[in-house]
Structure 1
Amino acid sequence: MFKSLLKIAYRNTLKNKSYTLTNAFGLVLGISASFYLLIHIQYELSYEKDFSEHERIFRAASNSWAKSSLPFAAELEKAFPEIEKTGRFGQYRQTNILIYNDIHIPVREGLYGEQSLLSIFNFEFIYGSPETALTRPNTIVLNESIATKLFKAENPIGKSIKIGGMEDLEVTGVMADLPGNTHLNFQYLISLPTMLHSISDEMQQRRGWMSVYTYVLLREGQRIHNMDNRLFDFLVKFSEGSATREEIEQEEWRFEFHPVKNIHLYSDREQEMGQNSDVLYIYILSALAFLIITIACLNFINLFTAQIIKRSREIGLKKVIGASRQQIFLQFFGEGLLITVVSGLLALVVCYTFLPLYNDIAGVNLVTNTFFKWQNILILISMVFGIVLSSSGFPAFLISGSHPILAIKGTKLPTSPVVKIRKILVAFQFSISIFIITATIVVFKQMTFLHDQEIGFEKEKVISIQIYGPLWEQAVMKKDVFRNELMKKPGIKSVGNASRFLGNNLSVETLRPQGTDPEMDLPAMRFIRADEGFIPSVGIELVEGRNFQARTDTSVAFIVNEKLVEILGIEDPIGTEAENSWSRARGKIVGVVKNYNFASLHYDIEPLVIEYRPNWVDNMLIRIDGTNVKETVASIQKEIENIAPGAIMLYNFLDDQLNFMYQSENNLKQLFLLFSILAVLIACLGLIALSVYNNELRTKEIGIRKLLGASVFNIVAMLSKEYIWLILIAIIVTLPVANYFITEWLNNFAYKIKLSWWLFAISSAIVLIIAMLAVSRQSIKSALINPAKSLRNE
């Protein structure tokens, strides 16, 4: 029986080629898009799960800071016997360029690492011993890719390399490359004793200096919630001498153990190791996957139902001659199953083929072998059978129970309940399309707003060059000679040096102006180290005082922003003595700069201190006139080769750095654009097929109306009218829902666009126009048929 049903289903699908191809094409698009999104979501949820002990690993930190102090780890081990071991990462903030002999290789990022981390995360070693690799100062562990670039196939253990301007580091290990789904985005680890060797004992004991990331590994069988109720008492004891229990309670500052597997999606603390994602985007991707597959299913239901109604006479006759309800159901269910299974297989081929394109659009690194994991194959099978049950099973069940006489008359009943359901589904399809297009327009508008926002400094004609080793010596210690040579080059307007000066990961310290109440709690302030060339190079406006002046001594000076002056309430800041509470450096405030956005526009402007420290820099900033960019960059590169042979010019433009801060939003923008196009395309495929079917049903009516004098325009208007009403209903229902969710997304930005009625009007007009173009072609074709032919065929 099954073989017979399959054969009948195969013949019917071939007999109705246009219907089959339209249905299959819509399903392939829907399944492909949803499968991509589901694999993407699975990838985002898989962070840290490649580490064998990830369930037992936690980051210990406060509820607002990702970092903790150096003594924190040892005190945790003493206080909590449930902890098996602790380990600390430190950020390496110098230039990331590895040097071996004459080979200079730029790398992404590195960290300081404690020996215990190698066993906590169970990193896989290729060369060297994981038991001793990071125990001594001036040692380094490389990942496999970097080791291969530097040493080819040679065993590098015992060899010496340099990083930027650091002294020689001995290679003590090579570990396998980390997977892409981890927040530990490093390519090398310098031993933590190397970092501690350069820090005084007094600094190492400071409990308020948040300088390292502390991770803990729980003992087998221990649960983190058993420790939570003791954390507050531990915090009080740990903070003795700096804060009382009452002060801690008032500030609501807490330590907590954050599961390592949750950091990527749920952590947005101060001084994160890198740019994390947000669980909000998982919800958005999940919603997109659901909406796209829903449109495809609705499309399938509409087309499938139309075919069933068109074949109702066949169904009625079969029932008259004795066909059972089960046989009718299995016949149509089999046809739906055949189309869906074939579409699912084609979708898998499409996903495999276009994966590099999706990776480029979404900014991820999915690999093709993930498609063939049993979990993903199970997802695809579930998706296919879910579509079959919802899209062909339900209509087949309804029609198989119809009375033979009504079934035979079905083609004459365009107002039957099944047809009404079809219209509701069409409206729902276009509701989803309107929602996705509206979201796409708003995301594009918001990202354009962020790009065009006046941020208070020059971003488009400033080159940032990482300086290290011999290049650092020339750019910092002999900067007058070097800058004089650079300024002779055409197109160069100014040159300055600075530490890290963009983003949310700037150093956080405090500046206490003279006369400030010693008991006053000062706000956290962002610090930038720079020389006298920094402010003119980036075009920051001085509203009071002066710029730094070059000095030969080691004295410091400060320039602050308007926000800091406002918060501290300083009436006359220029000339005020101030002290850096962290370094104890004292100097005068010599200038006030206009507030500018040095961080992402997700956040409001914060208090900022620019400290004159011409030797604490690792970036050279060159402002150019922008007329001949390629020639200007080439001339700078040539000068660097002359004064620092072998050094590489690692550079980018400030606007590129700023765009990187919105990488998640830019990826989201591209995804919404792609899927809005797919949503409208799938919906229109169904609409075209339905309009063809409806026009066939009304062939005789069209012929009679033409004989009575109706024009082509009248006929087209009549046939299109019901679709216009369906889309208008979809617009009315969808816009309030879209407004709510879009407003929630925009609330993630401190600077955002204002939602206007015309944004929603544009998305509605786009859907309406596209739908009418899809329908009008078929309507015009039907209206132009000779009435005599229409009536004769009917």
Structure 2
Amino acid sequence: MMKNYLKIAFRNMQRHKSFAFINIFGLSVGMACCLMILLFVRDELGFEKFHANSSRIYRTIVDEYVDGKWEHNVGSPDLLGPALENEYPEVISYVRLFNPSWIDKWSVSYEKKYFYEDNLFFADPTIFKVFSIPLILGDPETVLMDPTSIVITDTMAQKYFGKENPIGKVLTINDAVEAKITGVAKNVPRNTHFRFDFLASFESMPFKWALNTWRTLQFHTYVLLDKKYNQDQLDKKLSPFLEKHFGNQTNMKLHLQPIEDIHLHSRSYNQEMAVNNSDIAYVYIFLTIAIFILSIACINFMNLSTARSANRAKEVGVRKVVGAIRGQLIKQFLGESFLFSLIAAVFSSLLVMLFLPTFNTLSGKDIVFNAQNIVFIGGVLACVIIIVGILSGSYPSLFLSSFQPIKILKSSLSEGQKGFLFRRVLVMLQFMISVCLIVGTFIVYEQIGYCLNQNLGFDEEHVVVIPLRSSLVQAKYESFRNALLQNHAIVNVAGSSTVPGRSVGERGMFPEGNKWYPRNSVFVDFDFIPTLGMEIKKGRNFSRDFPTDVDDAYIVNEAAVKNFGWKEPLGKKIIWAGDKNKKGFVIGVVKDFHYKSFHQKIEPLVLHMTPGIGSYASIRTKSENIIKTMSFIKNKWAEFNPGHPFDYFFLNDQYDKLYRSEEKMGQVFRYFTFLALFISCLGLFGLSSYVLEQRTKEIGIRKVLGASVSGIIIMLSKEFSKCVLLANVFGWPIVYFLMNRWLGNFAYRINISFWTFLLSALIVIAISMLTVSYQSIKAATTNPVNSLRYE
């Protein structure tokens, strides 16, 4: 019996090739899109799960109440971890990591051969107890006990030493710290916020001024909790702990963040070291897109399957006459539906295999077909096959099998008003989803354009930035700067601890009239403000004519003046925390400028005049002959810093990188919006073909009675155009709500324009009408004799 059912199913597919193709292809594309997005979501939710104790590892977060809201700081004092372990039995171990925000890359050399490395951390020996980091060589208990020790990954071992055994060899960090290799670790998995290539002993950390004080937040502290306790129990005890060590700070809190939450819930945190962090909002958005696209594909499949079922009424009647019972008919129709779904699932798997590399490029992922993902895909497809098979097969099987054969065979079974209405509601739902995706895509790109084209408060164009990643390079900075200024194409050169668009360090301070807490601070030289084209609103810039400006003068931004409650900022005193004798006075106020992304409001900033310790050289050039100017800069670099790689970036490009995740989101949005619209039109094409086929005789009669071709086309298109118009009416409020929530992630955002909705509506209406018009024109121009010949 089953063999007979399969034979009939394949014969029906051959007899109605176009409908079979539309059904299978549309469902396959929808399934493939859904699968790739679900793989993306699964990957996003799987960060840090490879750690054996991931559910018990937490990161300490210091919260500050600034400008009416709580801000979260990843940085913590070096004393925090040891104090938590000593005072709370819940904490069985801790580890501190140091990788300061003002250093983008470290200079690492071996036998005078220099490399610039991103992922170098100074860590406690307990790192191998807290995190699951397997070693290829070395003992995890002792590998970082020696103050001069360092652990490198397998990739770095091959890069620096090839096939040689790296144990015992000495690397030099920033021309200042010598570290002996004591271990080799396996390469760090991709799905973690903490990616290292080098782990140096915490004791060898060169910035000793940050140690042994509660007043600097420069370290990332992680704790491992005992199985008997949970986060909430310890969080409740941290208020008295904070008061004991930080003093009575009403504007500060301390809490723990689960390590599994870091990737999706820390993007706006200050001093966040992970550059690949995402946002839980994007997971929800992509999950919604997956559901939308799969819904469109399933609606298409069900719509066309149920529509075509009426044409098989006589087949059902004949089967009943020759003895088929209702249960057998139900099995046949459900079986055919499951077969279509199964074929679509197979093709969708092939599409995923084919397009997964492209999807990885668009989304910035590296998803592979491993055993876990294959099992996941199989589970998802099994669920889709069952759901779609039952939903699309149950209606025709139950509906047709219930009729008496005599009624079916006497006349053709016509679709009732309810079925007619139901199918148009499904079409409207499809296009409502497409409208939502189109409007969403427009809004994403409008917001990205807004961020990239707004005035930042300084001139970011024609500024070349060279990171100074070695103490020897930094020592030669003044000579290098003077040599560059000999070229008339170079307008100015400035040194600083960071540049706008890069991470800004925080340092505890006492602004006059305020309690202690950390503020964003940047060390700059005399030329920083004029080189970047910033505007002094009050007071003056740092000047070589005032020797006391060095170390004793500060310039603050307008946000700081407001936050500190100063009516007259000039002359106000600021004391660096941890050194009550190190104080200075405000000599100027700079106009607010965006030194972070538009996700965050402009925060208080203190510029500290400290020449000679800059980590970056910002070089403003003239706009003409930029290639020749860059060649000159490169030659001067090689002259002053032989052996050190020449690395640079343009400041305006740095700002583009701040919105890389939004750009990737926009690209994925765009492609999946196109596919959703394509699948919707595919279904509309198939459904309109069926409807016009059912109305062939009606069209013939209308033409005989004098109806014009244009009149018939308008009549036939009007029914579907109503569905599309209603799709816009119902879709607009939904997408407005969703995208308004997404724009809430930005402190500076666009206002959603009515024209965005109108343009989206015109696009959807135009495309849908083109889809229907082809069939309508074909039906309207058919000779009525052909359709009425046998009447």
Q: Aligned partner of 1:271: which letter?
A: Q
What pairs with 1:80-119 in structure 2 (closer than 5 Å)?
80-92=88-100, 93-94=102-103, 95-119=105-129
Q: Structure 1 regions of 5+ residues with no counterpart?
A: none
1:525 matched to 2:519? The reply is: yes
Contact in 1 for aligned 2:168/2:180 (Cα 8 Å): yes
Q: Does 1:731 align with 2:731?
A: no
- Asked if 1 retains the 8 angstrom alpha-carbon contact of 2:502 and 2:654, the reply is no
2:77 corresponds to which residue? 69
Name 1:367's counterpart in structure 2.
Answer: 368
2:39–2:373 contact (8 Å) kept in structure 1: no
Aligned position for 1:39: 39
1:702-744: per-residue Cα shift (whole Å, max 9, x none)?
1111122222111110110000111111111111111111111
1:48 touches 1:182 (CA, 8 Å); kept in 2? Answer: yes
Q: Deviations over 1:756-791 (max 9, x none)?
A: 211111111111111001110111111111111121
Question: For residues 91-140 of structure 1, what are the alpha-carbon distances to aligned partners after superposition, in whole Å with 9 as ceiling and x for unaligned?
Answer: 24433232222433332322211100112113111222222222222332
In structure 2, what is the Cα distance between the partners aligned to 1:57 and 1:779? 64
Give the deviation of 1:286 after TM superposition. Answer: 1.2
Indicate which of 587, 591, 602 corresponds to 1:590: 587
Bigger mean CA deviation after superposition, 384-393 or 665-674: 384-393
RMSD: 2.4
Q: 1:672 to 1:227 in 2, by over 3 A?
A: same
Q: Would you say 1:457 and 2:467 are equivalent positions?
A: no
> Where in structure 2 are the equivalents of 1:372-771 lying within 5 Å?
372-404=373-405, 407=408, 413-469=414-470, 473=472, 476-489=474-487, 491-503=489-501, 505-509=503-507, 512=510, 516-517=512-513, 520-521=514-515, 524-550=518-544, 555-574=551-570, 576=572, 578-582=574-578, 584=580, 585-771=582-768
* Alignment-derived partner of residue 139 in structure 2: 129
Against the structure 1 CA distance between its residues 482 and 67, is the aligned structure 2 distance closer, same or farther, given a 3 Å change threshold? Answer: closer
> SS at the partner of 1:454?
coil
Which deviations, in whole Å up to 9, do the C-alpha atoms of 1:649-698 show, x marking residues without a partner?
Answer: 12222222222222222221111111110110000000001111111111
Match of residue 258 from structure 1: 257
Q: Does 1:781 align with 2:778?
A: yes
1:119-518 alignment, distance < 5 Å: 119-195=129-205, 198-199=207-208, 204-239=211-246, 242-243=247-248, 248=250, 251=251, 253-267=252-266, 268-275=268-275, 276-369=277-370, 372-404=373-405, 407=408, 413-469=414-470, 473=472, 476-489=474-487, 491-503=489-501, 505-509=503-507, 512=510, 516-517=512-513
Residue 66 of structure 2 is matched in structure 1 by none
Distance change >3 Å, CA 728–CA 362, structure 1 → 2:
same
Tell me the distance in 1 between the aligned counterparts of 2:674 and 2:25: 14
Q: Deviations over 1:429-452 (max 9, x none)?
A: 111111111111111111111111
CA–CA distance in 2 between the matches of 1:391 and 1:626? Answer: 64
Is the contact made by 1:13 and 1:335 (CA closer than 8 Å) also made in structure 2?
no
The runs of 4+ residues in structure 1 deviating greater than 6 Å are none
User: How many residues are matched?
Assistant: 776
- Return the offset for 1:424: 1.0
Structure 1 position 385, deviation (Å):
2.4
How far 1:550 sits from its partner (Å)? 4.2
| CA distance, structure 2, for counterparts of residue 605 and residue 649 of structure 1 | 32
Q: 1:615 is paired with a residue of what secondary structure?
A: coil
Does the Cα contact within 8 Å between 1:703 and 1:791 map onto a contact in 2?
yes
User: Structure 1 residues 287, 688: CA separation in 2 closer, same or farther (over 3 Å shift)?
Assistant: same
Superposed CA offset, 1:467-511 (max 9, x none) = 133xx645x444444234323446432211111233484122355
Distance across 2 between alignment mates of 1:263 and 1:85: 19
The change in CA–CA distance for 1:193 and 1:10 in structure 2 (over 3 A counts) is: same
Matched, 1:14 2:17: no
Instruction: Output the amino acid matched with 1:156.
Output: P
Separation in 2 of the partners of 1:225 and 1:578? 37
CA shift for structure 1 position 426: 0.6
Moved more, 421-430 or 554-563: 554-563
CA apart distance, 1:577: 5.0
Q: What code does the residue aligned with 2:222 have? A: Y
Following the alignment from structure 2 to structure 1, what is the Cα–Cα distance between the partners of residues 59 and 485?
48
Q: Secondary structure of 1:311's partner?
A: helix
- 1:643 counterpart letter in structure 2: F
| SS of residue paired to 2:598 | coil
Aligned CA distance change for structure 1 residues 96 and 377 (closer, same or farther; 3 Å): farther
Amino acid at match of 2:561: V
For residues 141-191 of structure 1, what are the alpha-carbon distances to aligned partners after superposition, in whole Å with 9 as ceiling and x for unaligned? 222222221111222111111233433222222211111111112222221
CA distance in 1, matches of 2:770, 2:586: 66
* Paired amino acid for 1:12: N
Mark the CA change 1:348 to 1:106 in structure 2 (over 3 Å): closer, same or farther. Answer: farther
Q: Structure 2: how far apart are the matches of 1:40 and 1:210?
A: 34
TM-score, normalised on structure 2?
Answer: 0.93
- CA distance in 2 between counterparts of 1:632 and 1:411 reads 82
Structure 2 letter corresponding to 1:568: F
Q: Structure 1 residues 410 and 687 mapped into 2: Cα distance closer, same or farther (>3 Å)?
A: farther
Q: Which residue of 2 aligns with 1:51?
A: 51
Per the alignment, do residues 293 and 328 of structure 1 end up closer, same or farther by CA in structure 2, a change over 3 Å counting? Answer: same
Separation in 2, partners of 1:546, 1:238:
38
Q: Deviations over 1:559-601 (max 9, x none)?
A: 2212222333445544555433355533343332111110111
Give the CA deviation at 1:411: 5.5
Equivalent AA in structure 1 for residue 328 of structure 2: Q
Q: Distance in 1 between matches of 2:608 and 2:62?
A: 28
Query: Identity rate of aligned residues, in percent?
Result: 34
